[in-house]
Amino acid sequence: MKVLRTGAILILLSVLLVVAGGAIGGRGGMQIALVMAAIMNFISYFFSDKIALASSGAQPVAHEQLPRLYNVMERLAAKANIPVPKLYVVPEDAPNAFATGRNPSHASVAVTEGLLQIMNDEELEGVIAHELSHVRNYDILTSSIAATVAGAITYLASMGKWAMIFGGLGRDRDDDRGGGGAAALLMIFLAPFAAMLLQLFLSRTREYAADETGARMVGEPYGLISALEKLGAYNRRIPTTAISPSTSSLCIVRPLFGSGTLSSLFSTHPPLEERIAALKQMVNAPLR
C-alpha cells in the first residue's frame, strides 16, 4: 500500500508538471516541462548525493576514526541485507543525520558531530536503523525525484509570471477564447502550491515508514524513541549552521531554521510527538 501511494504521488506530480507546462505555454510549454523534468531528474539521480554532502561540508571517515559508528552500521546493514554505505561526519553541533544516494549500492550516511556526542549506543543504533531504512526503501531516490519535479513546476510558474508581466502569456494561443488564459493564471499560482503539498505528504509518509522499519530492524523501538526525544530537545535550542535548507528534508529531524505554526504546517517532517507516539504503539506489537 505504501509503495502504491508513493507511486501515485509521483505520477500526480509528473502529470501536474505536464499540465502546468501546457496551461502556461501550450504545446511548447508542455515540451519544455518534459525536457526540464528529464534534465533535472538526471542530475538528481546521479549527483544529488554529492550535492547534499558537499553543501553540508560532510567529511568521509574511516573505520579507524569512528569504530563505534562503523560497528553499528556494519551490523545493521547486514541485518537489512544491503551494502554498508559510505560514512560521513558533518562539522555541526546540532545533532542530526541524513542518508543520500540513488540506491543501496551507491548510498551514504552522514551524521553530525553533535549527534555522536549525545547519543548512547542504543540511541545511535536507532538513528542508523532509521537512515538505513531510507536506503533500503529507496526513499532517497523517490524524494529526490519528487523534489526535482516540484522544483520544475515552481520554475515553470515563475516563467509564467514573467510572461504575464511582459504581456506575452497566451497572446498567440488559440484557446484564449475558451478560457486558456484563465487556466494559465490558475496554474501559475495553484500548481506550485499543489506540488508542495504532494511533496510534503510524500516526505512525511516516508518518515513514518522509516521509523517503523528502523524499529523492526533493531527489534525494539526504545532506542529510536529516546533518540528522537533527544533530537527534538537539542534541535529546539541549537541552530543548524552547516546543513542547508535544501538538504534539511533528508534529515531525521527538522533542523532549526524557523519556528511557529506555519513553519510546522509546511514542514517536510511530521511532528516529533506524533512519530514518537506511533513508535510507542509498537511496544506491545511483535517486531520480528
113 counts as catalytic: no
Residue of 125, 131, 207, 212 marked active site = 131
> DSSP assignment of 79-108, as one string?
HHTSPPPEEEEE--SS--EEEEESSGGGEE
254: which DSSP letter? -
> DSSP assignment of 261-283, as one string?
HHHHHT-SS--HHHHHHHHHTTT
For CA atoms 132, 138, 144, 146, the dihedral sign is negative
Amino acid at 96: N
Using alpha carbons only, what angle is made at residue 272 by residues 266 and 276, rounded to the nearest 5 degrees?
Answer: 145
Amino acid at 231: L
Q: Kindly report the backbone phi and psi dihedral angles of residue 61, in degrees, each rounded to the nearest multiple of 5, phi listed first.
A: -130, 150
Strands 97-101 and 86-90: unpaired
Cα 113 versus chain centre, distance: 21
Cβ proximity of 133 and 277 under 8 Å: no
53's enclosing H/E stretch is helix 2-56
- Cβ burial, residue 31 (10 Å; 0-12/13-18/19+): middle
Supply the residues annotated as catalytic: 131
